[in-house]
């Protein structure tokens, strides 16, 4: 048998293993993706590993059969080195996929979809940061292994370690800010002034924490904009965290009326509005006159809600209904300017 036919047979045999694996794993992956009823470790493994295994197993097979091939010396070295690099890359991807499977399990174990999810959000914040840090380390180590497999790269590395100390100092100063952000990321992951899905007021904007990366944080603003901030911002500058210990919050509505309005009637109407609304958590229900000015009386409606989203909607509802009630029953009680004519 000619050498090229033998080599082609070995290559096709390795590829055929990948095709067989794909024909088995791909239908399984599609079948499992349609099932959304509950968490399954098998579904998670299939979803994360079906593509990489169809490449890694054929490469491993080809690598084991490589000594049996009949390539010439120069071609054999190139093919062997290329196969080694590809296997290293695939192995790194498999480790990352293993982290993803473990992350899926932890996400199932600590589900943030429930209402009182403070503990779950704490743990998920740490999971996300540690996963991204580990992936970064895996990528750096993989690239280092590939570069060190070349003789010329080993010489360059030795030269960098022994001959450019001044350059290292310059790079160290240049990277100081990035390292500061990374250390701030560690501090946030474990002391947790912010967590995933926390509601924050930052730079005058209301939003939820959408991403916590190694060096920056992404806030999902209420109008769908994204506010991106360096992670050390949350170590160095003040900000409001509305869900630091609990998502519960008090909502306020201010109404400005004339002194003639019967406050007790408003108090009864306010209580009626709250009792008939699912957004109210049943804890705080207070209507008080909080200020008197030259021409108006300030009335504050105070109510409690389970979270800030409910509080915003309930405040809007109370404001609209209270104005409607005053306009219908006490139209003369709206704020007015009095003028007395003296002859």
Please report, in angstroms and rounded to a whole number, the separation of the first and last CA atoms in the chain.
Answer: 126
Phi-psi region of 111 (alpha: psi -120 to 50; beta: other; left: phi over 0): beta
Q: What is the pLDDT of residues 275-321, one digit of tens each?
A: 989 999 989 999 999 999 888 899 999 999 988 888 999 999 999 99
The half-sphere exposure of 278 on its side-chain side, counting CA atoms within 13 A, is 0
Residues in a beta bridge with 298:
256, 291
Q: Determine the Cα–Cα distance for residues 264 and 253; give it in Å rounded to an integer.
A: 17
Burial 152-174 (b: 16+ CB within 10 A, else e): eeeeeeeeeeeeeeeeeeeeeee
With a CB cutoff of 8 Å and minimum separation 6, the contacts of 4 are: none
Residue 16 has pLDDT above 50, yes or no: yes
Residue 285: the pLDDT is: 93
Which of these, 248, 265, 266, 256, lies nearest to 314 by C-alpha position?
248
Q: pLDDT over 90 for what percent of the chain?
A: 27
Spatial distance between the Cα atoms of 267 and 151, rounded to a whole number of angstroms: 83
Average pLDDT, the chain: 81
Domain ranges for the chain, please list them: 3-109, 249-333
At residue 29, the pLDDT reads 63
**Whether 85 contacts 149, CB under 8 Å:** yes
Give the CATH class of 249-333: alpha beta
Question: Hey, what are 134's tokens?
Answer: 């580990």
pLDDT tens profile 131-161: 888 888 888 888 888 877 777 666 654 444 4
* Range with the poorest average pLDDT among 149-158, 208-217, 266-275: 149-158
- 153-172 pLDDT, tens digit each: 666 544 444 444 444 444 45
């Amino acid at each position: 048998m000619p050498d090229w036919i033998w080599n082609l047979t070995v290559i096709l045999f390795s590829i055929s293993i990948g095709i067989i694996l794909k024909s088995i794993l791909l239908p399984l992956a599609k079948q499992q993706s349609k099932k959304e009823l509950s968490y399954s470790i098998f579904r998670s493994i299939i979803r994360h590993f079906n593509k990489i295994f169809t490449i890694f197993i054929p490469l491993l097979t080809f690598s084991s059969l490589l000594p049996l091939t009949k390539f010439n010396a120069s071609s054999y070295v190139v093919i062997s080195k290329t196969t080694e690099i590809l296997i290293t890359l695939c192995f790194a991807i498999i480790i990352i996929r293993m982290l993803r499977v473990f992350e899926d399990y932890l996400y199932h174990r600590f589900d943030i979809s429930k209402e009182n999810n403070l503990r779950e959000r704490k743990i998920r914040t740490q999971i996300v940061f540690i996963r991204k840090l580990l992936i970064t380390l895996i990528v750096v180590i993989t690239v280092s292994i590939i570069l060190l497999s070349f003789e010329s790269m080993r010489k360059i590395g030795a030269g960098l370690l022994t001959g450019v100390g001044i350059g290292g100092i310059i790079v160290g100063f240049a990277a100081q800010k990035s390292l500061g952000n990374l250390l701030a990321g560690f501090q946030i992951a474990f002391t947790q002034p912010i967590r995933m899905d926390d509601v924050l007021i930052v730079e005058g904007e209301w939003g939820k924490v959408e991403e916590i990366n190694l060096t920056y944080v992404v806030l999902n603003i209420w109008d769908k904009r994204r506010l991106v901030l360096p992670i050390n911002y949350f170590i160095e500058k003040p900000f409001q965290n509305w869900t630091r210990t609990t998502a519960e919050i008090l909502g306020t509505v201010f109404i400005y009326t004339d002194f003639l309005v019967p406050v007790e009637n408003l108090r009864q109407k306010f209580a009626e509005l709250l009792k008939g609304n699912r957004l109210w958590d049943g804890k705080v229900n207070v209507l008080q006159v909080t200020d008197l000015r030259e021409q108006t009386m300030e009335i504050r409606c105070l109510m409690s809600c389970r979270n800030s989203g409910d509080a915003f909607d309930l405040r809007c509802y109370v404001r609209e209904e209270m104005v409607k009630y005053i306009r219908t029953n006490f139209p003369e009680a709206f704020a007015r300017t009095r003028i007395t004519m003296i002859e």
